[in-house]
Amino acid sequence: MEILILPSPSHAERLAARLVADRLRAKPDLVLGCATGRTMEGIYAELARMHAGDGLSFARARTFNLDEYVGLAPSDPRSYHHYMREHLFSRVDIDPANTRLPNGAADDLPAEAFAYEASIAAAGGIDLQLLGLGSTGHIGFNEPLSSLMSRTREKALAPATREQNAPMFGGDPAAVPARALTMGVGTILEAREVVMVVTGAHKAEILATATEGPITAMVSATALQLHPRCHVLVDEDAAARLQGREYYQWMFENEPEWEAYRS
């Protein structure tokens, strides 16, 4: 794992978008794992800008999203299907047929979860997985005690997660669906590269726990410490509680891999 500390949230978002763009240019049929949440909005806006201004093409790309609320139809404006259309799919040249999210409105959720895993495998696996970090330390919707080997399945949401996501449901945590279909921690760990983006002072404590704390199923993001190619992009505020911040800063300023990304 590497932690890159950037001066501001928009610097972190732009760097994440540049990494996606570089991987996409190197492999036009990239399999991109998409996340949702407020942190991702700036990344998708930057990718849309690169499409419009720099000719970045998603024409051959395929995407798989992490999760979807159970009970929300893809047409529901609060669904992650809607979120993805609004923030990315409608703003770039991706073929809608190549975009997949779990269907939270499926009648048979275990069958849907199984089919979702099968379609990721049929696509050859995920090349680059984008992640945000939930306030419970979750990745996707892998709430406390999620098995670190879990696969796509239905999961009950923690009260803190419903609280965090209440603004998208009129401010009422009780209006947030109680369950979600989510890729498992094991599914996420199989992505060939992972980019997690974490910004804001409110994430400082959970970021330190997730990256520098012991690996535990209580905090599913700690499993990323096992991943051989995981980059964590953070802003100064989110980095405030990191014990190793001086080393991480030195690493970003000196490692040849990041030279092109420092300006």
Q: Which residues bind ligand GLP (CB under 6 A)?
A: 35-39, 66-67, 132-134, 140-141, 161, 165
Of 91, 90, 89, nearest to 64 by C-alpha is 89
Question: Is the CB of residue 33 less than 8 Å from the CB of residue 66?
Answer: yes
Task: At 77, list the tokens.
Answer: 């404006």
Q: Three-state secondary structure along 147-215?
A: CCCCCCEEEECCHHHHHHCHHHHCCCHHHCCCEEEECCHHHHHCCCEEEEEECCHHHHHHHHHHHHCCC
Q: Closest separation between CB of residue 253 and ligand GLP, Å? A: 27
Nearer to ligand GLP, 34 or 61 (CB): 34
Beta carbon nearer to ligand GLP, 50 or 197:
197
CB of 67 to ligand GLP, least distance (A): 5
- Residue among 60 and 78 whose Cβ is closer to ligand GLP: 78
- Closest to ligand GLP by CB, 12 vs 94, is 12
Comparison of 94 and 168: residue with beta carbon closer to ligand GLP: 168
Minimum separation from the CB atom of position 202 to ligand GLP (A) = 8
In degrees rounded to 5, what are phi and psi of residue 234? -135, 160
Closest CA to 103 of 180, 22, 12: 180
Residue with Cβ nearer ligand GLP (51 or 87): 87
| Nearer to ligand GLP (CB atom), residue 60 or residue 74 | 74
CB of 232 to ligand GLP, least distance (A): 13
Tokens representing residue 230 in the block: 């995981």
Sign of CA dihedral 113, 118, 123, 126: positive
Smallest gap from Cβ 133 to ligand GLP, in A, equals 6
* Cα–Cα dist 53/48, whole Å: 8
Strand ranges of the sheet holding 153-156, from the earlier edge strand across to the other edge: 67-69, 179-182, 153-156
Smallest distance, Å, CB 236 to ligand GLP?
17
Strand segments, DSSP code E, in 152-198 are 153-156, 179-182, 193-198
Distance in Å, CB of 30 to ligand GLP, minimum: 20
